[in-house]
């Protein structure tokens, strides 16, 4: 998970760890790319407005890294703009979650993608 | 002093004008005469003192003078101040220095009509010699329309620019507001779901209320965003084939417990069959939830009557309540955002908020209309008309 808002990160970690997921949290794109290289992730949750990179750039950086099993990549954003969803899917995101989200909705989305 | 330095009318002194005219107008060159009368530009000729020698038909129309009344006048009569006073100086300077300021190049000037109206024009001047006498020929085109178009274009560009700034502002404001709200609502959720430990019923109730208020706030933020036209986060209007009756049933079933809690009956009057419609299901749901939510909220006792019928190529849904009604003076702006149209009979009501403004926006997005009628102490009726746009028939 890449998330620069500490509160948001803590909230998601709390929800995810509770049901047994292991979460690695990075606060910026640079650290996230480093972590991506070294861990076999199942799912990536990317905040698309990071201090050092936007979502488009980050996902293309991640795609450039060779991986045996490509993880599912979801965008997480507090932006609610018309056309955003199509834009994200076109950029290669497998899905997106809009903040504020409800706990159940968040967990369902994560669960769905962890099974895929 | 002669013509250029006196504004007094004086017939052009020598034979120049006469010869000049006769060559054009008295049939020596009929083609030239026709051309001169039919140019889009006004043509005005002056001698080197500024006296008008020729004034074309178009010039008459454009400037309001008759040729007969203006011949011999100083051309500065056609200019507003301060240009009128400076004009003699211009000619003088040119004659002395030979430095061309307008001749052969043309430029935009202000011209003055007989009635005093000043208008923007383009003037091109050329210099000819007739019998050794210098004649300046000016072509004047009226730029009023172009200028007006230019101003209108500039204005619409400014409006567009402002809209862009406004939308950028709203988008970033929405993001800024949603960010802390996400943490608030998320952690309230955690407590409420007892992730952090078991709660007493009172504690749970407090959190329910805090969570509901957070949702309300989020609704307001989304609503504001949606009302700014370029950014519509919730409602993108994706049209599919919809079963209107089924959608209404769904909404009523969802809201019924709320109504029953207040002892309000929801009475329906639906047709047996109704055409499927080409519309946006989420949009329709939101319209009905907003209207039904209001009806339940503002009705203390009695019933809510929902009637659906098909009229020509439209579906009309009427929702009538037995609430307090809305005063006539408030009815006019009921669809404006953040008005409080429900204050009547000293009843303190919750805010009118954005619900009806959003409802209207959605109805319009779907190509429909919404109207309201109301009578104090007797109730309010909203009527929503949506186009069918679909050939299929559904039997239920």
User: Could you read off the pLDDT of B360-393 as tens digits, one per residue?
Assistant: 888 988 899 999 999 988 999 999 999 998 766 5
Which of A4, A50, A82 has the highest number of chain B CBs within 10 A, making it the mutation to test binding with B?
A82
pLDDT in tens, B352-365: 467 788 888 889 88
Which of B181, B189, B226 has the highest number of chain A CBs within 10 A, making it the mutation to test binding with A?
B189
**Interface contact B179-A5, CB threshold 8 A:** yes
Which range has the worst mean pLDDT, A99-108, B192-201, B331-340? B331-340
d(CA A85, CA A63): 19
ipTM of the complex model: 0.81
- Top mean pLDDT of A93-102, B128-137, B211-220, B347-356 is at A93-102
Tokens of B126: 């050329």
- Nearest CB to A14: which of B179, B185, B190? B190
* CA distance to B86, B107, B122, B137, B215, per residue, from B81 (Å): 8, 17, 17, 22, 66
| SS3 per-residue string spanning chain B | CCHHHCCCCCCCCCCHHHHHHHHHHCCCCHHHHHHHHHCCCEEEEEECCCEEEEECHHHHHHHCCCHHHHCCCEHHHHCCCCHHHHHHHHHHHHHHHCCCCCECCCEEEEEECCCCCEEEEEEEEEEEEECCEEEEEEEEEECHHHHHHHHHHHHHHHHHHHHHHHHHHHHHHHHHHHHHHHHHHHHHHHHHCCCCCCCCHHHHHHHHHHHHHHHHHHHHHHHHHHHCCCCCCCCCCCCEEECHHHHHHHHHHHHHHHHHHCCCEEEEECCCECCCEEECHHHHHHHHHHHHHHHHHHCCCCEEEEEEEEECCEEEEEEEECCCCCCHHHHCCCCCCCCCCCCECCECCCCCCCHHHHHHHHHHHCCCEEEEEEECCCEEEEEEEEECCCCCCCEC
Q: pLDDT at position B371, please?
A: 94
Q: Minimal CA–CA distance to B280: which of B370, B389, B354?
A: B389
pLDDT in tens, B320-333: 999 998 888 888 78
d(CA A25, CA A49): 15
pLDDT category of residue A106 using cuts at 50, 70 and 90:
very high
**Interface contact B175-A5, CB threshold 8 A:** no
Region B124-151: mean pLDDT is 87
Q: pLDDT at position B261, please?
A: 85
Residue B198: exposed, middle, or buried by beta-carbon count in 10 A (0-12, 13-18, 19+)? Answer: exposed
Q: Which residues of chain A neighbour B223 with C-beta distances below 8 Å?
A: none
Which of A78, A97, A107, A110 has the highest number of chain B CBs within 10 A, making it the mutation to test binding with B?
A78
**Interface contact A8-B179, CB threshold 8 A:** yes
Q: Which of residues 152-171 of B touch A (CB under 8 A)?
A: 171
Q: pLDDT at position B91, please?
A: 83
Is the predicted pLDDT of residue B395 greater than 60, yes or no?
A: no
Q: pLDDT at position B34, please?
A: 77
Q: Which residues of chain A neighbour B193 with C-beta distances below 8 Å?
A: 103
**φ and ψ at B251, to 5 degrees?**
-65, -45
d(CA B16, CA B131): 8
d(CA B96, CA B289): 84
Cα B156 to its chain centre, rounded Å, is 9
Which of B168, B170, B183 has the highest number of chain A CBs within 10 A, making it the mutation to test binding with A?
B183
Q: Minimal Cα distance from B217: which residue of A?
A: A100
Q: How far is A36 from chain B (nearest CA, A)?
A: 26
Q: pLDDT at position B216, please?
A: 80
Q: Residue written as tokens 């909705």?
A: A105
**Interface contact B189-A14, CB threshold 8 A:** no
Q: pLDDT at position B247, please?
A: 92
pLDDT in tens, B225-272: 666 544 444 456 778 899 999 999 988 988 888 888 889 999 999 998
Quick check: B222 contacting A, CB < 8 Å?
yes
Measured at the alpha carbon of residue B146, what is the angle toward residues B144 and B150, in degrees to the nearest 5?
115
Q: Residue written as tokens 């989200």?
A: A101
Q: pLDDT at position B234, please?
A: 46
Query: B396: Cβ–Cβ under 8 A, 6 or more apart, which residues?
Result: B245, B272, B273, B274
Q: Which residues of chain B neighbour A18 with C-beta distances below 8 Å?
A: 195
- Nearest CB to A79: which of B175, B181, B230? B175
pLDDT category of residue B7 using cuts at 50, 70 and 90:
very low
pLDDT in tens, B163-221: 778 777 777 788 888 889 999 999 999 999 898 899 999 999 999 889 888 888 887 78
Q: pLDDT at position A8, please?
A: 93
- Nearest CB to A78: which of B179, B187, B231? B179
Query: What percentage of chain B carries pLDDT values higher than 70?
Result: 83
Q: Which residues of chain B neighbour A45 with C-beta distances below 8 Å?
A: none
Q: Minimal Cα distance from A101: which residue of B?
A: B182
Mean pLDDT (chain B) is 82
Cα B383 to its chain centre, rounded Å, is 27
């Amino acid at each position: 998970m890449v998330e620069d808002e500490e509160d948001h990160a803590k909230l998601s970690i709390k929800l995810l760890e509770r049901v047994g997921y292991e979460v690695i949290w990075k606060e910026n794109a640079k650290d996230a790319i480093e972590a991506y290289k070294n861990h076999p992730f199942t799912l990536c949750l990317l905040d698309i407005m990071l201090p050092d990179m936007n979502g488009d750039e980050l996902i293309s950086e991640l795609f450039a890294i060779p991986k045996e099993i490509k993880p599912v990549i979801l965008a997480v954003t507090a932006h609610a703009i018309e056309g955003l969803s199509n834009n994200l899917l076109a950029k290669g995101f497998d899905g997106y979650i809009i903040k504020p989200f409800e706990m159940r909705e968040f967990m369902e989305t994560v669960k769905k993608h962890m099974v895929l | 002093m002669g013509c250029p330095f006196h504004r007094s009318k004086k017939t052009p002194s020598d034979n120049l004008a006469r010869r000049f005219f006769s060559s054009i107008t008295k049939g020596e060159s009929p083609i030239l005469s026709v051309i001169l009368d039919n140019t889009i530009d006004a043509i005005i000729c002056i001698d080197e003192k500024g006296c008008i020698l020729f004034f074309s038909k178009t010039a008459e129309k454009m400037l309001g003078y008759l040729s007969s009344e203006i011949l011999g006048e100083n051309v500065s009569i056609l200019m507003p101040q301060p240009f009128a006073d400076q004009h003699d100086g211009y000619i003088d300077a040119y004659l002395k220095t030979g430095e061309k300021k307008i001749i052969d190049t043309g430029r935009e000037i202000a011209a003055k009509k007989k009635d005093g109206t000043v208008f923007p024009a383009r003037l091109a001047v050329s210099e000819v010699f007739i019998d050794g006498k210098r004649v300046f020929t000016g072509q004047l085109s009226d730029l009023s329309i172009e200028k007006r178009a230019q101003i209108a274009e500039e204005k619409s560009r400014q409006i567009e620019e402002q809209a862009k700034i406004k939308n950028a502002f709203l988008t970033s404001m929405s993001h800024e507001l949603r960010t802390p709200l996400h943490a608030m609502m998320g952690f309230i959720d955690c407590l409420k779901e007892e992730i952090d430990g078991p709660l007493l019923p009172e504690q749970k109730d407090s959190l329910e209320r805090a969570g509901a208020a957070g949702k309300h706030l989020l609704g307001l933020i989304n609503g504001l965003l949606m009302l700014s036209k370029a950014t519509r986060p919730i409602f993108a209007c994706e049209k599919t084939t919809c079963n209107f009756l089924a959608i209404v049933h769904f909404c009523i079933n969802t809201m019924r417990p709320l109504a029953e809690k207040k002892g309000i009956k929801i009475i329906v009057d639906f047709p047996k069959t109704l055409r499927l419609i080409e519309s946006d299901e989420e949009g329709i749901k939101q319209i009905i939830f907003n209207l039904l939510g209001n009806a339940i909220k503002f009705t203390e006792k009695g019933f809510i009557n929902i009637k659906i019928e098909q009229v020509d190529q439209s579906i009309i849904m009427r929702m009538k309540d037995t609430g307090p009604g809305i005063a006539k003076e408030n009815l006019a702006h009921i669809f404006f955002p953040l008005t409080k149209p429900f204050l009547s009979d000293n009843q303190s009501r919750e805010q009118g908020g954005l619900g009806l403004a959003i409802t209207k926006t959605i109805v319009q997005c779907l190509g429909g209309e919404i109207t309201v009628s109301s009578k104090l102490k007797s109730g309010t009726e909203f009527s929503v008309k949506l186009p069918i746009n679909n050939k299929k028939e559904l039997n239920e």
